[in-house]
Structure 1
Amino acid sequence: MTTMLYKRIVQAVKGLRLRSGCPKTNGIGRSHIAPEMNPSESFLEQEEEEDSKWSNLPPELLLDIIQRVEADQIDWPSRRDVIVCASVCKSWRECTMETVQTPEHSGSITFPISLMQPAPRGTPIQCFIKRDRATSTYRLYLGLTPAMSSRTSKLLLAAKRSKRATRTDFLISLSGHDFSSKSNKLVGKLKSNFLGTKFAICESQQVSSSSKKKKKLQPARVSMSKVGNISYELNIIQSRGPRRMKCAFDKIPMSAIKEGGIAPTPTKFQCPDTGSELEEPLVLRNKSPRWHEQLQCWCLNFKGRVTVASVKNFQLVASPEPYQDISDEEQDRVILQFGKMGKDFFSMDYCYPLSAYQAFAICLSSFDTKPVCE
């Protein structure tokens, strides 16, 4: 009886989503958007009546429904049902947000804020990046490979490369097509220096307006706050070897990679940054490859996730100071790996304490031209 009631409620909730004109995703990064409508008063009254009906469910029954949906729908696109539950009404949204765990504990990416939260410990979240040379855009999808994920891949983030006179910018957005600096979908930016050897990872932050006029609603200004740095070592004498890089994150402590260590886990977007820089921030370096005599090339063990040799391929591990007491096992653990799988397709696997956004920003830096580093 309980199972039948659960199924009927879930089907009814899905019906609410379809009637409300929510976008229906079909294929990689494509959405079919329903046109805007001017509903009649009777339709509005019907919606209000339905919302009231759903919001008045007993808390115990509501919690049971959300927990079942969250447990059953683990992978995308079926996990969209969890988002549907959060969009029914305020009580459903609050219950869903309390039930769904962060990627660190669940291993799943559910809400957009999950992209700014650390990945699980030990088990990497596997993604791939698709490069579009014609439009200079890079799209990050959740999945093993384009072939295996097929049309079920979930678009996580997208970036657009913008060349300026003295630097290159990568605008990072939740949308695959909206990269406007005034858009609320813009989550951050990657900025380079003139040579393409140093990069700053920035996150968007809302700055509340100080205007005292209450009659006019003024849009909140968006500023960029630096959260990390990436640097590539110069190779002026053109010695043999891959690129050498280092990454430092101002808000993640080095102790986060230890067992029981804690990394910041934001709960909402665009919060003003009130914290100060850490005395011992997390520093990552690329893992040194070994020279293979038979193949006559530098090699790393990507465990089958990289199939094409490229100067862009890398693995990042922790680079602590001797006094920081980090074990050899923790220093050897790969936190982020990136490599070429085919023409314009690259794998990206990341672990705790990095988030999808931070890992994506690091990988984007590898696409910029670096003649003085190779």
Structure 2
Amino acid sequence: MHFKSIVRELRDMRDSIGNSSRRRAEGKHTNRRGRSHIAPEGSPSSSALFQQQSQWANMPPELLLDIIQRVEAAEASWPARRDVVSCGSVCRSWRDITKEIVKTPEQCGCLTFPISLKQPGPRESQIQCFIKRERATSTFRLYLGLSPALSGDASKLLLAARKIRRATSTEFVISLLGDDFSRATNAYVGKLKSNFLGTKFTIYDSQPPHDPAVQSNCQSNGRLHSKQGSTRSPSGNYNVATISYELNVLRTRGPRRMHCTMHWIPISAIQEGGTAPTPMTFAKCQKDQFPQSADPKGKNPLIEFSSNSLAETPESIQDTRNPLVLKNKAPRWHEQLQCWCLNFKGRVTVASVKNFQLVAAVEPCQNVSVAEQEKVILQFGKIGKDIFTMDYRYPLSAFQAFAICLSSFDTKPACE
């Protein structure tokens, strides 16, 4: 049987299982993941029994490994890469082998599973995406692809965000789904929050940072408790980055000047032999698993990571690190065009104050090569009405890059 026929049959099997599961759910939205996501670990027992009894569940491991390796090598881009996800959705044995075969974006340059959006991009190339803005609904959608004109229906939705204006700040709620921005579901992945002037933004991740100290605290908490049902309480918000825009007091002409401090990416990540934090699974250390104590100001709940009054808090861990700081790449003044210019290599076609390129801000004592200092880690720019390109690379993840770009959409009269 041809491999594409095998994958097509697997996909039909997965859809039939999903339809029967949804009918049994009686209208309850217990699984909000899209077709592109890997099957959840905790599936209904009847579906699991059906999967285990299927003709594909008991295949020899050697043959199964060969099949999935061939599928993964042949389908390198979306929407064809959906076949790789289909292989991981058959049953537990298929899922385990698929996870072993599929590499991280840093290793293969491909986005496959939802966790790929939290993993660093490739080192030697950029993952090219574009953002569509819907002004009527204040929604921003991140797609994988060159542009809407070139990708068309093949564009893969990665993340979506909705802008929420408050009295003293602005928030962008980021979700895996384009129509679900509730913080009480598994689709919620984080948020971006600004200060009153729109000059400082904080990126919050729904998952705890990929740090051994924090992970051990999460696992050793003696006051864990579980809740029934797939819909969970809102995730914890973990401060992973801070974005600061410089005030333009003199109203001088030029692009916005910004600095991004990546609290959980050390400067050693871009040094020779360095590595960036790479989560392999979504952590189960959630906000609803920890007791909360009131903030002295009565505003935000404080998450307790340990039953021993926190010997080491996230803030103290941050202080012991030397975090990676990103800054604007300095533009040059073009005499003929009479404007500031950056080389986007054809990826940006419309002049805008929102356009930027970010490079690492390093000190001579940090032993970072000149080549690494000149690499554009993230670039963002306008190509049409409400259409923007976003290209990122190691050590940023798609989630972090998207959140940084969202900060450019907020109004900043004091910085322009």
Q: SS where residue 149 of structure 2 aligns?
A: helix
Amino acid at match of 1:292: H
Distance 1:59 1:215, change over 3 A: closer
1:268 matches 2:269 = no
1:324 matches 2:321 = no
Deviations 1:132-161 (A, max 9, x none): 000000000000010000100000000000
1:360 matches 2:402 = yes
1:11 matches 2:53 = no
Structure 1: gaps spanning 5 or more residues: 23-33
Give the distance between the partners of 1:214 and 1:343, measured in 2 at CA: 45
Using structure 2 for the length normalisation, give the TM-score: 0.80
Which of 149, 154, 159 lines up with 1:157 in the alignment?
159
1:346 matches 2:415 = no
Contact 2:271/2:367 (<8 A) preserved: no
Paired residue for 1:60? 62
1:245 matches 2:258 = yes
Q: SS where residue 340 of structure 2 aligns?
A: strand
Q: SS where residue 340 of structure 1 aligns?
A: strand
Distance 1:257 1:271, change over 3 A: farther
Amino acid at match of 2:82: R
Which of 92, 98, 101 lines up with 1:90 in the alignment?
92
Paired residue for 1:304? 346
Contact 2:7/2:86 (<8 A) preserved: no
1:142 matches 2:155 = no
Contact 1:228/1:250 (<8 A) preserved: yes
Give the distance between the partners of 2:278 and 2:256, measured in 1 at CA: 31
Contact 2:131/2:141 (<8 A) preserved: yes
RMSD, matched Cα: 2.6
Q: SS where residue 54 of structure 1 aligns?
A: coil
Deviations 1:221-254 (A, max 9, x none): 5210100100000011111211100001111111
Distance 1:291 1:175, change over 3 A: same
Higher strand share: 1
Amino acid at match of 1:163: R
Q: SS where residue 97 of structure 1 aligns?
A: helix
Give the distance between the partners of 1:223 and 1:14, measured in 2 at CA: 34
Contact 1:51/1:88 (<8 A) preserved: no
Give the distance between the partners of 2:62 and 2:96, measured in 1 at CA: 14
Distance 1:286 1:60, change over 3 A: same
Q: SS where residue 20 of structure 1 aligns?
A: helix
Contact 2:183/2:234 (<8 A) preserved: no
Contact 2:159/2:176 (<8 A) preserved: yes
Give the distance between the partners of 1:219 and 1:362, measured in 2 at CA: 27
Structure 2: gaps spanning 5 or more residues: 26-45, 209-217, 286-304, 306-312
Using structure 1 for the length normalisation, give the TM-score: 0.89
Q: SS where residue 206 of structure 2 aligns?
A: strand
Contact 1:51/1:89 (<8 A) preserved: no
Task: Write the mapping of 1:54-203 to structure 2, written as runs, cut at 5 A.
Answer: 54-203=56-205
Give the distance between the partners of 1:35 and 1:343, measured in 2 at CA: 41
Superposed displacement of residue 210, structure 1:
4.4
Q: SS where residue 223 of structure 1 aligns?
A: coil
- The percentage of aligned residue pairs carrying the same residue is 61
Contact 1:104/1:121 (<8 A) preserved: yes
Contact 1:182/1:222 (<8 A) preserved: yes
Contact 2:118/2:278 (<8 A) preserved: yes
1:257 matches 2:270 = yes
Superposed displacement of residue 15, structure 1:
2.4
Contact 1:209/1:220 (<8 A) preserved: no
Give the distance between the partners of 1:118 and 1:136, measured in 2 at CA: 28
